[in-house]
Amino acid sequence: MKLSKPIITREHGSWAVLFVPMIVGISYAGTVTLNNFWLACSALGVFMSYVPVHTMMRELGGQPQGKEKLDTSELWGSIYLLVGFICILPLFLQGYLHLITFAMLGSAAFFGNFFLTRSGNKSILSDLTAVAGLTLSAPSAYYIAVGTLDSQAFVLWMLNFLFFGSSVFYVHMKISVVSLKKEHLQFSERMSRGRLNIVYHLIVISIVVVMSLYNLTQLTVLLTFIPMIVHALIGTVKLSGKVKFKKLGFLLLAHSIFFGLALFIIWS
């Protein structure tokens, strides 16, 4: 029997949302072990199951997916989840039982994202839910490295969630202007479409500053957000109906890489 082609998500940016926070968590802990490999492989398996499992859930929810698509999803969904389970076992056997907490939170985000996208339309809320789940890789990697679950794990998650949440608001702003089918927008139109993006980034700045005042993180961490914030705000002011999403994807990836490298430099 010929094995069907693997199902791989087309949301290329989600790879960065999963692995950059994991690298950030490892960087903060300052140590790399074989356990990081097991965690990465397990997270990858569960992450890859996202598309096929959602397909199966839609079928169960009364949305026919077609026999071939469903059979392929059942096959690869099972394979991916099996990989995720097998790779997490060495960590459970070593006593990292708090990973169960992360698994429960990740599952909540996984199913929450599904229920928010049942109609096939994504929203800011559905994408933020996905980001909340994927960025759990940061505190998970930190926990695996230090062996304890403390407040710093939450700080790592919060910083990563805030950063990758930026791209959610920015991309949805871009999508909203495309629907207008107007290349040139009036200032009032740009502000109307971009107000949530502006408010979000102001909130991000405020939260990071407050975290630094309470000694939860260094104020210099705010510097890692600057390129993304500047890009998002300038993008709002110059907003137009002409959007090159492929170019935008590469820019957001570059911001993600800078974010991870800058945090590594600050913490080292």
**121: Cβ contacts below 8 Å, ≥ 6 apart:** none
More confident residue, 146 or 2: 146
Confidence of residue 79 (pLDDT cuts 50, 70, 90): very high
Identify the burial level of 113 via C-beta atoms within 10 angstroms of its C-beta, where 0-12 means exposed, 13-18 middle and 19 or more buried.
buried
pLDDT higher than 50, residue 1:
no
Find, among 153, 159, 157, 233, the residue nearest to 190 by Cα.
233
Contact 131, 168 (CB under 8 A): yes
Contact 193, 173 (CB under 8 A): yes
pLDDT higher than 80, residue 30:
yes
Find, among 136, 137, 147, the residue nearest to 31 by Cα.
147
